[in-house]
Chains A and B, each alone.
Chain A
Amino acid sequence: MAALTRARRPGPRRGGGSLVREGRWALVFLAPTLLGLAVLSAGPILATLAISLTKWDLLTAPKLIGLDNYAALLSDDRFLKALRNTFFYTIVSVPIGLAIALGLAAALNTKVRGISFIRTAYFLPVVTSTIAIALVWQYIYSANGGLLNEVLGVFGIPAQKWLSDPTLAMPSIVAMSIWQGLGVNVIIFLAGLQGIPTDLLDAASVDGAGTRARFRHVTLPLLTPSIFFTGVLSMISAFQVFDQIFVLVKPRPTDATITVVYFIYENGFKTFKMGYASAASWVLFLIVALFTAIYFWSQRRWVYYQ
């Protein structure tokens, strides 16, 4: 599509020379971002690698201790618990979140009155601060007169301690996060759906495909790039889950909901163990990198590019 559009565009820019020039211009426009990345992200990230090899309390000089931090992490029950919780969060929230977003996008991809209002409504949580959202959900989840328990009570279901029961706390946070993140994925899926050429769908209809068959054999395959894209974003941010935990359940320092990033925060800024926290963030980084690599590798098996 893109290539076609460019070829049709009139103008003097033609041939290999213009590509090089375009490339240069692209670099110029990218420079601020690249510079920012190098100075503000790459630098600190590399610094944490060095810090992770030290015992550093932030206030006095760091002491080189080699890989001791990493060794200690492996036998730290709290860290392992944080890893388990983070994996649980990611494995549950990403697929469910994507599936719901896809269904919603398909439902919203119609031309009815007020559809843009409805679409906006689904996007609202994305632009609302997590703090505000978490406070509302704190009320929803409240064990004593909370909205959810009141509604369930109508059906005779006993009140649950959504946030303080260790088995319910993590699923409760997953549910809130899915709702909160829905909007981004819905928008991307909507764009993907609207990019599907109607002639393909029409052709399928002519060949006798029903609504379901068209979705399964035309829409879904053409949507796989969008699914791939939302998948990788959702996965990476799921591994870094922090703010929901910080606001919703922080007052209870029980381990039921500790995640890796919370563990990093606590060690770095509360218990004066910046080296240890840096090591934990590198372990997380490697895990995220590994899963992202596997995910990218898998795309040739299921992602169809037009």
Chain B
Amino acid sequence: MFTDRTWAGAGGARPPRLLAAFAVLALIVSACAGSTASPSTSSAAPAGAPSGSAAAPVSPGASAAGYTGPEATISYSIWGDPQEIKNQQAIVDAFHAANPKITVNVTVSDWEPYWDKLQTSIAGGDAPDVFAMDGPLFPDYQSRDVLLDLKPFIDRDGYDLTQLADQAVADFTTPDGQFGLPRDLNVVALYYNKKMFDAAGIPYPDETWDWAKLAEVAKKLTIKDASGKTTQWGFYTETTDMENYWSELVWQNGGDIISADHTKSLVGSDQATGGIQVLQDLIWKDKVMPDASITDALGDAFEQGQAAMESNGSWLVATHQAAGIDFGIAPLPKGPAGQATSINPTGAVVYKGTKNPDAAWEFVKYLASPAAQTKLMELKASLPANKEVLSGPFATSFEGAQVLVDAIDYAHIKPSFKGYNDWTIALQNELDTNVFNAPNKTVKQAITDVLPDLDGILAGQ
């Protein structure tokens, strides 16, 4: 059963063994394919790296016109729902049409198993050639030397990084090199249900809103029935991750999450705790937002048409549209320190042990190209990382898209550091238990209690 599998997984031998078997199979298959393929016809670009070592790319004079190496099959792994595979397949097919010598196999997994599989396949030496990387988790992988530095490829091809959103590029840059290109990015904004605002005769939220205005309108839009049961909530957000709202509140209050050198947690400052306190008050003091026991079963109250406003990510545009909600998008309400939101890029990275670094690079480059980015844009799953698409067709592709694009200017990058999972589990556990799910403690008290653990985790990295 499930439990047994977990045990085997903890032993670490079963999945890699299986994977190793597949790897051998894959090798045989690709070797056969390789033997029939004609070698590169271009004299200028011996771009292949058949040794398998992820060495620096060859021949700086290679043309930027396209891939000229031997035929190659690369694997590309992403997280997402099954629907996603169809979308990604369309992008991959277009890539194959432009680069007939490269075949890309896409696999899609759920968020949780995606990381389990990725770790075990890297440990087994058979990771996908190209895979999706979450901004915050990037340092945990990059620092362990499993990602290929793309800087030599960028230099060779004269690839222009400034065509991509700057913060998103920076998230995958380290002093050692450039370890991925952003594929897409997400910002957080305020969704509002137009019907509910119209029914109450309240003007839609705009960039003049601040925290006080949010609480005031949320109260007005919270409706109870005769028995005292709330039938419409003024506000909704997710409390289980900082990105949905609480990190934004910290920044809007002039605080920060973690020091720039990643050695000290800053969530204990008065600005930080004061910001998070706003969220606890919305749930437990103003009671304009459903608490966890309700949302556990209800899901996204805004999507269910039971909440008038929601602070959440741009990834929900398509979901809310599919749910038939007539909504608008506004900037998050300002705090005492002004406007702030969160930006979080997803990148495409290359496995350091890839047998086809050139083909992998070609594909990563393609994912960030206007052609692929336009396809991504049509999914409304997130914002394109390519500036040309971002400020061009995307900004007018749906109502409120411009608000999301503008938000990038005042967005803070979602914290990204080694030990991110460890640190956030400890912090979220305390916040969920004692602040958001039940008002057992003030935010100040809760963070004071958990701060030694948090800094202990950072010290242990």
Contact = CB atoms under 8 A, between A and B. Distances in A.
Interface of A: 40-41, 43-45, 47-48, 51, 57-60, 130, 138-139, 142-146, 161, 163-166, 237, 240-243, 246, 251-256, 261, 264-266, 268-274, 277-278, 281
B240 A252 contact: yes
B293 A243 contact: no
Contacts, number: 131
B123 A253 contact: no
Contacts of B294: 143-144
A142 B298 CA distance: 9
A164 B437 contact: yes
Contact of A47 (B12, B120, B296, B422): B12
Nearest to A59: B144
Nearest to B123: A58
B381 interface: no
B296 A251 contact: yes
Contacts of B395: none
B146 interface: yes
Contacts of A256: 433
A15 B295 CA distance: 71
B119 A240 contact: no
B228 interface: no
B240 A272 contact: no
B292 A253 contact: no
B296 A143 contact: yes
B141 A59 contact: yes
Nearest to B145: A60
A278 B293 contact: no
A272 B296 contact: no
Given A143-B294, A144-B294, A242-B3, A43 B433 contact: no
Contacts of B433: 166, 254-256
B113 to A, nearest CB: 9
Most buried by B among A241, A254, A277: A254
Given A58-B119, A143-B297, A254-B429, A48 B10 contact: yes
Nearest to A244: B2
Contacts of A166: 433, 438
A33 to B, nearest CB: 14
B322 to A, nearest CB: 21
A268 B429 contact: no
B425 A271 contact: yes
B455 interface: no
Contacts of A45: 11
B297 A252 contact: no
A165 B6 CA distance: 27
A54 B210 CA distance: 51
Contacts of B120: 58
B42 interface: no
B281 interface: no
B56 to A, nearest CB: 21
B14 interface: yes
B293 A161 contact: yes
B461 to A, nearest CB: 10
Contacts of A253: 240, 425, 428-429, 432
A251 B293 contact: no
Contact of B11 (A44, A143, A246, A269): A44
Interface in B419-445: 419, 421-422, 425, 428-429, 432-433, 437-438
A274 B120 CA distance: 11
Nearest to A278: B10
Given A144-B297, A145-B297, A278-B10, A252 B122 contact: no
Given A45-B11, A269-B116, A272-B140, A261 B429 contact: no
B13 A252 contact: no
Nearest to B433: A254
B425 A164 contact: no
B34 interface: no
Given A261-B3, A270-B421, A143 B8 contact: no
A271 B421 contact: yes
Contact of A130 (B2, B123, B146): B2
A144 B122 CA distance: 43
A57 B9 CA distance: 14
A161 B293 CA distance: 6
A272 B122 CA distance: 12
B410 interface: no
Contact of B2 (A43, A44, A139, A243): A243
Nearest to A240: B3
26 contacts: A40-B13, A43-B13, A44-B12, A48-B11, A58-B12, A59-B119, A59-B123, A59-B144, A130-B1, A139-B297, A144-B290, A146-B297, A164-B437, A166-B433, A166-B438, A246-B2, A252-B432, A252-B437, A265-B10, A269-B9, A270-B115, A270-B422, A272-B119, A272-B422, A278-B10, A278-B12
Contact of A41 (B2, B8, B240, B296): B8
B290 to A, nearest CB: 8
Nearest to B140: A272
Most buried by A among B6, B122, B294: B6
A237 B146 CA distance: 37
Given A47-B12, A130-B1, A270-B421, 14 more contacts: A44-B12, A48-B10, A144-B290, A145-B297, A146-B297, A164-B437, A165-B438, A243-B3, A253-B425, A264-B6, A268-B9, A272-B119, A272-B422, A274-B12
Interface in B10-49: 10-14
Interface string B277-301: 0000000000000101110111000
A237 B123 CA distance: 29
Nearest to A130: B2
Nearest to B240: A251
A281 B10 contact: yes
